[in-house]
Amino acid sequence: MPWVKSFNIDETLDIAMRMFWSRGYEATSMQDLVQGMGINRGSLYDTYGDKRSLFIAALRHYDKAHRKTRLAKLEREHSPKVAIEALFVDWIDLVTTDADRRGCFLTNTALELSVHDAEIGAIVATSQKETEQFFRRLIKRGQSIGKIDQDLDATQSARLLLAALIGLLVLARSRPERTLLKSIASSAMGSLQ
């Protein structure tokens, strides 16, 4: 009779994601994961592989559930300029109300691991490129309807917005001050005038 998992794979992956997001890769031990996920060590290894493989699965899960879903919803539901501003506002609301000050899992990973692990670095780089493309698409769309300055270079402006967003997310880890973060968002939005 085949062995049947007695736990929900998606739920345990979500738990691992939250643990890595909160603590980082290095500070999260296998024992922490076993206890937090509520599964035995053998099940963890059989299902997810080693700690690094679990981390990569958790990072991809975060990217899909948080970044990709959020960007798609904003792009679908709002006008270009409103969607860009809403992304900044959403992040400011999140980072200033999160008592654990987790920030963005992808940005945290960029700082902790990207330089030392090519595969993880590539995941982070892809997410950054896709976010830049999101900004570029919205800028071009806003230009086409006369809501964003026609003279702006959409690629350069998208990169500026990406840098402002990443900077905001890094700064929020140590200084989650709403006024400070709103001033960054306001300057970034001002660049689209």
Here the tokens at position 2 are 């085949």
**Is residue 30 in a domain?**
no
Residue with tokens 């959403």: 90
**Is residue 112 in a domain?**
yes
CA-based torsion, 45, 51, 53, 54: positive or negative: positive
* pLDDT recorded at residue 47: 87
CA 70 centroid distance within chain? 10
Q: Quote the number of domains for the chain.
A: 1
**Is residue 102 in a domain?**
yes
* pLDDT recorded at residue 5: 53
Domain encompassing residue 115 = 60-190
- pLDDT, tens digit (0-9, with 9 covering 90-100), for 71-130: 999 999 999 999 999 999 999 999 999 998 999 999 999 999 999 999 999 999 999 999
d(C-alpha 13, C-alpha 130), whole Å: 23
DSSP 117-159: -HHHHHHHHHHHHHHHHHHHHHHHHHHHTTSS-TTS-HHHHHH
* pLDDT recorded at residue 4: 45
- pLDDT, tens digit (0-9, with 9 covering 90-100), for 146-162: 999 999 999 999 999 99
CATH number at residue 73: 1.10.357.10
User: pTM of the predicted model, to two decimals?
Assistant: 0.92
Decide if pLDDT at 135 tops 50: yes
Instruction: For residue 191, give the nearest of 167, 163, 170 by alpha carbon.
Output: 163
**Is residue 105 in a domain?**
yes
- The fraction of the chain above a pLDDT of 90, given in percent, is 86
* pLDDT recorded at residue 44: 86
* pLDDT recorded at residue 16: 95
Residues in the chain: 193
**Is residue 23 in a domain?**
no
**Is residue 93 in a domain?**
yes
- pLDDT, tens digit (0-9, with 9 covering 90-100), for 40-61: 888 888 888 899 999 999 999 9
**Is residue 157 in a domain?**
yes
Decide if pLDDT at 137 tops 90: yes
